[in-house]
Amino acid sequence: MRPTILFLTLIAPSKATLSPSTDSIIKHSWGDIPRGWTYHSTPPPDDTFELRIGLKQARIDELIDRLLEISDPNHSSYGKHLSQEESEALASCQPKALDETKEWLAYHGIDDSRVNHHQAGGDWLSLQVSIAEAERILSTQYHLFRHDASGETSLRTLQYSLPHHLHSHIDMVAPTTYFSTLRTMRKTSFLQPDIEPVDEVESLIDPIISSAASVIPLGCSYAITPSCLRALYNTTDYVPTAMSQNRLGVAGYLDQYANDADLQTFLKKFRKDAAGATYPTVQIHGGGNDQSIPGIEANLDIQYTIGMSYPTPNIYYSTGGSPPFIQDSTTTTNTNEPYLDWVTYILNQTTIPQVITTSYGDDEQTVPLEYAVRVCNSFAQIGARGTTLLFSSGDFGVGGGDCKTNDGTNQVLFQPSFPASCPWVTTVGGTTKVNPEVGVNFSGGGFSRYFDQPDYQANAVSGYLGGLGTKYAGKFNPGGRAYPDVSAQANRFQVVVGGHTMSVGGTSASSPTVAGIFALLNDYRLSLGLGPLGFVNPLLYSLGRNGSEFSGFNDIVSGSNPGCGTDGFAAARGWDPITGAGTPSFKRLQALVSK
């Protein structure tokens, strides 16, 4: 509900007489304490914390236009990626926004020397404040709220206000009304204890011939290893040569640590020629690297990016912290990851890996809209600098839990996943079986309610929607960004954790697999003197032929992703919201990206 402004004067005061305390209006508020939370206590007024203020990005539409131009293979600017300085200029705020926000802070006694200005990922101001100062600045009251399920407490407020003239300058302030805990986030992978892990690799060596005439190790119908994936997607014979120019990054969050010893055990078992390969761990915003606590998710990611891309250099990012969160029935504790801290670090670097994979996600509705849009815009900035960002599509089909909306109406709707729903990333769904591959039943897919459908995918998506007809009408937004874009195997992955092999499933496995393939495609382009692929979606969708199969991809035509009490979407010829364009065929894609 838009707040009514009953206390503004009819004539706006001049800048010289403006009183930021008297012209403030509510920026965001809750009618009551969000469900699942209870009041715990009121903190001492002299307690301190970091307050972050995100300023609106004045030229973000121009940045996105540039991203689409340099990513369109038919445009004269194709491949002309932006420098760090160029992208920062397009993501910046108006000088007036910065000046007037600082004036507002100064009015409340915050000296400019206390304010840190960060420009990566757009303009952010951060400052250490006391509870009393924050309450005065934001015309609010802070309290500690207890999360009933976890017992954890968070410092939040039920509403906050900004001066009227700053509403057009400030996107968001945090922490304020977005409730969160520090619980481990949702990872898009899961253990499969009913599947016996493979301790010996002989069964994964004897070949059979698949229907596509590819030599696939016999055991791949039972367990997936790098040998299976390299055979399925035709990378086995490719030898990288551009190692000095090419890098592959893995983003990890909230106490998920990739284990060095487990990687060596994995490589000796499943990719002997890569034994001894290492990777650096970059720790961001308090991210750890405790080698005594190997993470299933982190190990899965790094073992399969290296397993697919060796000898391409890999890098693991360990990011700490916890971002804003809105609870729903599936995500009952804070499982959002701190994208802003990670993306700010990445955009501060002079060079960025040409491919980065992330295997985490949440229901879109649990992420505040302003937060989601701001993060998505930052992903566009990374893509404009020449990086392919890959995200797993999620493991709940069209939605998990009761699929009720958390806006008070309790409608049962399909629940899209974020960041999978961001138009400026490449989202990876899941398949299973090998002869032929089929869409795996947990593969996340659907249509965003936050982001409009981008032009680059409109033709492909319209073909699917035409075949769907009125089925599920009202359950999803047919005009929303559709995902996934591509897919890969997501079942029975062999992962070494704590020295032991176990079976793991999830689109967490699909995303690093595709990341390794795109890293090899970049290697090939770099060896030819060409630049990296960068944001690949416009190129990818241009490979579709009149709503049918996509050049360079294996079309997946069977499988579905049930959820929300329905059978979900079904795979079909061409693009579909369970497997996207299909699974990659490296050799065919190699020919398509050589110019």
Q: Are strands 480-483 and 486-489 parallel, antiparallel or unpaired?
A: unpaired
| Residue 73: CB atoms within 10 Å | 14
The answer to whether 407 is annotated as binding is: no
Q: Pick 287 or 440 by higher pLDDT.
A: 440
Q: Are 84 and 350 in contact (CB under 8 A)?
A: yes
The answer to whether 260 is annotated as binding is: no
Q: Is the pLDDT of residue 386 over 50?
A: yes
Average pLDDT, the chain: 87
User: Catalytic site residue 297?
Assistant: yes
Q: Report the candidate in 511, 538, 513 with the shortest Cα–Cα distance to residue 593.
A: 538
Q: Is the pLDDT of residue 204 over 70?
A: no
- Print burial letters for 440-458: b (CB count within 10 Å at least 16), e (below 16): bbbbbbbbbbbbebbebbe
Q: Is the pLDDT of residue 184 over 50?
A: no
Q: Are 248 and 309 in contact (CB under 8 A)?
A: yes
Compute the average pLDDT of residues 164-191: 69
Compute the average pLDDT of residues 555-566: 97
Triad 402, 404, 406: Cα angle to 5°: 135
The answer to whether 576 is annotated as binding is: yes
Cα–Cα distance between 369 and 61 in angstroms, integer? Answer: 17
Q: Report the pLDDT value the prediction gives residue 400, as an integer from 0 to 100.
A: 87
Q: Is the pLDDT of residue 370 over 90?
A: no
Catalytic residue among 123, 301, 395, 485: 301
| Residue 282: CB atoms within 10 Å | 16
**Best-predicted range by mean pLDDT among 23-37, 150-164, 547-561?**
547-561
Q: Pick 181 or 105 by higher pLDDT.
A: 105
Cα–Cα distance between 112 and 127 in angstroms, integer? Answer: 10
Q: What is the DSSP string of 217-270?
A: EGGGGT-B-HHHHHHHTT-TT-----TTT--EEEEEESS-B--HHHHHHHHHHH
User: Catalytic site residue 221?
Assistant: no
Q: Is the pLDDT of residue 189 over 80?
A: no
Residue 65's pLDDT band (cuts 50, 70, 90): very high
Q: Are 553 and 543 in contact (CB under 8 A)?
A: yes
Q: Report the pLDDT value the prediction gives residue 338, as an integer from 0 to 100.
A: 59
The answer to whether 574 is annotated as binding is: yes
Q: Is the pLDDT of residue 216 over 80?
A: yes
Compute the average pLDDT of residues 384-394: 97
Q: What is the DSSP string of 184-225?
A: PPPBS-EE-TTSPP----GGGTSEEE-TTS-EEEGGGGT-B-
Please give the domain boundaries of the chain with CATH numbers for all domains.
24-58+93-174 (no CATH), 190-592 (3.40.50.200)
Q: Report the pLDDT value the prediction gives residue 50, as an integer from 0 to 100.
A: 86
Return the H-helix or E-strand segment holding 106: helix 95-107
Sequence-separated (6 or more) residues with CB below 8 Å from residue 251: 317, 319, 342, 356, 357, 358, 360
Q: Are 124 and 343 in contact (CB under 8 A)?
A: no
Compute the average pLDDT of residues 61-72: 98
Q: Report the pLDDT value the prediction gives residue 118, as an integer from 0 to 100.
A: 87
Q: Report the pLDDT value the prediction gives residue 183, as an integer from 0 to 100.
A: 39
Tens of pLDDT, residues 100-153:
999 999 999 999 999 999 888 788 999 999 999 999 999 999 998 887 766 777
C-alpha atoms less than 13 angstroms from C-alpha of 427 in its C-beta half-sphere: 35
Catalytic residue among 100, 262, 297, 364: 297
Residue 154's pLDDT band (cuts 50, 70, 90): confident
Token code pair at residue 158: 């039920």
**Chain-centre distance for alpha carbon 248:** 16
Q: To the nearest 10°, the Cα dihedral for 475, 481, 553, 592?
A: 170
Residue 368's pLDDT band (cuts 50, 70, 90): confident
Catalytic residue among 359, 378, 392, 508: 508
Q: Report the pLDDT value the prediction gives residue 181, as an integer from 0 to 100.
A: 42
